Amino acid sequence: MADNGAAQAATTWPLVKFQFSVKIGSDEILFQEVTGLASETQVIEYRVGNSSVYSTVKMPGIKKFGNVTLKKGIFKDDKKLWEMYNKIKMNTFERQTVVISLLDESNNVAMSWNLTNAFPAKMSVTDMKSDANEPAVETIELAHEGFNIAS
């Protein structure tokens, strides 16, 4: 009997990146692109004065998390992102958990990342060109205090 690849698919082939979902609070919003899901640890260099080694010791320091950028098509009367962005007042926005999930071929969650205490930091609308042949896209940038892998 020939091997149809089903047994090796679970462990051999990486997940595709074009099938994902995003939940902001309790709302699932359909985006075409998610970028910026990254973390970096600052490096602390230290050397004691009587060290016989003429170089520094490197230690892990504070983690930094970049903003996550989400892009979606603009639909008539869809103002959900703008309403969320307009709720921002001086440090009074209710921060939310954002769940970004990578989906498998059956549309089930294969892996998720939870953004902690996220809030909109930037909002932009598409450029408009009379000779363009592409959809109108709006972009929202979310600041957050870190993320972790949920599954």
Domain ranges, residue 76: 16-39+65-149
| Residue 65: per-residue pLDDT | 96
- 1 within some domain: no
Q: pLDDT of 32-73, one tens digit each?
A: 999 999 999 999 999 998 888 889 999 999 999 999 999 999
Inside any domain, residue 3: no
| Domain of residue 91, CATH code | 2.30.110.20
pLDDT in tens, 109-145: 999 999 999 999 999 999 999 998 999 999 999 999 9
Residue carrying the six token digits 């600041």? 143
Distance CA 104, CA 79 (A): 30
Express each pLDDT in 19-34 by its tens digit. 999 999 889 999 999 9
Can you give the pTM of this predicted structure? 0.82
| Residue 8 located in a structural domain | no
DSSP state string for 37-62: --EEEEEEEE--TT-SSSS-EEEEEE
Separation of alpha carbons 4 and 15, rounded Å: 18
The pLDDT-based confidence of 88 (bands split at 50, 70, 90) is confident
Residue with structure tokens 């599954």? 151
Element of type H or E holding 133 = none
Q: Is residue 75 part of a domain?
A: yes
Indicate whether 48 belongs to any domain.
Answer: no
Q: Quote the number of domains for the chain.
A: 1
Give a yes or no: residue 20 inside a domain.
yes
49 within some domain: no
In the DSSP assignment, the letter for residue 90 is T
Joined tokens for residue 22: 């995003």
Q: Is residue 1 pLDDT above 60, yes or no?
A: no
Is the separation of the CB atoms in 29 and 63 below 8 Å? no
pLDDT grade, residue 9 (50/70/90)? low
Domain membership of residue 136 (yes or no) is yes
